[in-house]
Amino acid sequence: MDDASFEAQVTASGAALLRLAVMLVGEPYLAEDLVQSTLFKAFRKWQRVTAAARPEAYLKAMVVNEYLSWRRRRSSSELPAAVLDDQPSGQDVGGAHAARAACWELLAELPRQQRAVLVLRYYEDLPDEEIARVLGCAVSTVRSNAARALARLRAAVPRLDEEARP
């Protein structure tokens, strides 16, 4: 096993893996746990990872699969507070924070598979065929999961509008 190549790959891919994990779990600290447990598993089978045509894509697939198989649940339904910049920007920071929190809440309501499909499609910008390969399912399953997830999100948007009214 080549510890140097593992460290080099983690250095090169670590930030991207963490961003993907944050999009999947919605919390920076849980995302760090997800990436750490994924890298632990990757280290044990590092020869297989380095034998892949694209090791970073292999690691991203491992992060998604680890997310989908996680059995841990949060002890509360609280959403994490975002760290706000202290510099005035002239923008409605509170409104932006509330909108971001509402988006996280909506994404958190989706089943894991649907959320993973949306993150891979819209955040990682992967085509349906690649998403199907990462998730180990048919392309039609990816499309139906995406359609169901988007329908749930569209149905929730009017609810958000009603809650925002005085």
Residue with tokens 């999100």: 153
Q: Which CATH class is domain 3-69?
A: mainly alpha
Distance CA 37, CA 35 (A): 6
Looking at 1.10.10.10, 3.20.20.70, 3.40.1010.10, 1.20.140.10, the CATH number of the domain 93-164 comes to: 1.10.10.10
Of 102, 94, 91, 106, nearest to 150 by C-alpha is 106
Q: Which pLDDT does position 3 carry in this prediction?
A: 72
Convert the pLDDT of each residue in 36-67 to its tens digit.
999 999 999 888 888 888 888 899 999 999 99
Residues 6+ positions from 143 with CB-CB distance below 8 Å: 128
Distance CA 161, CA 83 (A): 25
Domain boundaries, the chain: 3-69, 93-164
Q: Which pLDDT does position 91 carry in this prediction?
A: 60
Ramachandran region, residue 131 (left: φ > 0; alpha: ψ -120 to 50; beta: rest): alpha
Convert the pLDDT of each residue in 9-31 to its tens digit.
889 999 999 999 998 888 888 99
Distance CA 73, CA 112 (A): 12
- Check: pTM over 0.85? Answer yes or no: no
